[in-house]
Structure 1
């Protein structure tokens, strides 16, 4: 690596590190006090940078929030892609996702706080969650239909009904777990999934 290359890469690396620090601080503060309770000053104070610097990376507080929500969902997709070509494997991966969430409390706090606030149509995350839940229900219904076609959906369930119960269980179990960390989040979800789908 030449001296010239080091000079070019140095500021870029520092910029990426600062952006990452801002996102992490925002992750924490949005989860602690919600969108309306959070301020850009509180976020930059936690990072230890001047408040105007945040606008070098994000046009607004709304954009910062949406960037964080999209990152959180991207992590979930990496663990559980919900691939319609592999319906049973996708159902198993959902259990892995809940295990991951059990070990990453900050992600669960952020999701639960923002999903609750986003019930308000004026909340900047409202449309994000409307799209997210619509996609999740549609994709789960497809996957469960695939399981049904292979004889893997247990009797008494329809794909659409099971998709709604699974979605509700994920959010509900996570909320209970945040209130009482002694709850077995991943174990209880696994037990529910085995009632719905022949996982093994």
Structure 2
């Protein structure tokens, strides 16, 4: 099936609505009917674009990653810092991601495989960034692979804390502080 420009616009509109509904209700509480209503479709009309709720969820997650995409091999620590700053300006997107991530740890959740694969990819990319920046050993003797796990945990953990109390957590500032811990010299590169 050849996608038309109007069809692609409609799919993008549905994805934005799905982000909103999931952010408000979580994946389990979100219904195809609620998403369809937001974009002025019937549930049957929505199924023309996304045949199942699971297909819509995967498309939402893939779209979110596309918005943050950096070409393979071009990640740098300063770009990660910029991504944290950018996320601080889009709480709805961060909330949707956090809600789906939290729900995905349950057995049988349709996003579980997506997030497991995503974390494997992220850890590998972060390890490569850290190795390029600091070599084989970081401050405290950490390997790039060990520090990559911590880096991913800090980024996602900061998002949860920021969502719960944005006035108390300076997400970009705390992330910069963490980067200084990784550098034996204390400089953020």
Q: How does 1:168-187 map to 2 (within 5 A)?
A: 168-182=153-167, 183-187=169-173
* From 80, 84, 92, the counterpart of 1:94: 80
Secondary structure of 1:178's counterpart equals helix
Gaps of 5+ in 2: none
Cα shift readout 1:54-107 (whole Å, capped 9, x = no counterpart): 1211111101110010111111223xx462xx6xx6111100110110011122
Give the TM-score normalised by the residue count of structure 1. Answer: 0.84
Q: Which residue of 2 aligns with 1:118?
A: 104
CA shift for structure 1 position 48: 1.7
Contact between 1:82 and 1:90, CA under 8 Å: does it hold in 2?
no
Q: Which residue of 1 aligns with 2:150?
A: 165
Q: How does 1:19-38 map to 2 (within 5 A)?
A: 19-38=11-30
Q: How does 1:80-159 map to 2 (within 5 A)?
A: 81=71, 83=73, 90-149=76-135, 153-159=138-144
CA shift for structure 1 position 150: 8.6
Contact between 1:31 and 1:113, CA under 8 Å: does it hold in 2?
yes
Separation of aligned partners in 1, 2:78 and 2:36: 40
Contact between 1:154 and 1:196, CA under 8 Å: does it hold in 2?
yes
* From 38, 48, 54, the counterpart of 1:56: 48
Separation of aligned partners in 2, 1:42 and 1:189: 36
Contact between 1:82 and 1:143, CA under 8 Å: does it hold in 2?
no
* Bigger Cα displacement from structure 2, 30-39 vs 14-23: 14-23
Q: Which residue of 2 aligns with 1:6?
A: none
Secondary structure of 2:142's counterpart equals coil
Give the TM-score normalised by the residue count of structure 2. Answer: 0.88
Cα shift readout 1:156-185 (whole Å, capped 9, x = no counterpart): 332122111111111111000000111211
Structure possessing the higher radius of gyration over alpha carbons: 1
Contact between 1:76 and 1:97, CA under 8 Å: does it hold in 2?
yes
Number of residues of Structure 1 aligned to a counterpart in Structure 2: 183
Contact between 2:136 and 2:144, CA under 8 Å: does it hold in 1?
no
Change over 3 Å in CA distance of 1:137–1:150 after alignment to 2: closer
Task: Say if 2:185 is the partner of 1:199.
Answer: no
Q: Which residue of 1 aligns with 2:7?
A: 15
CA shift for structure 1 position 19: 2.0
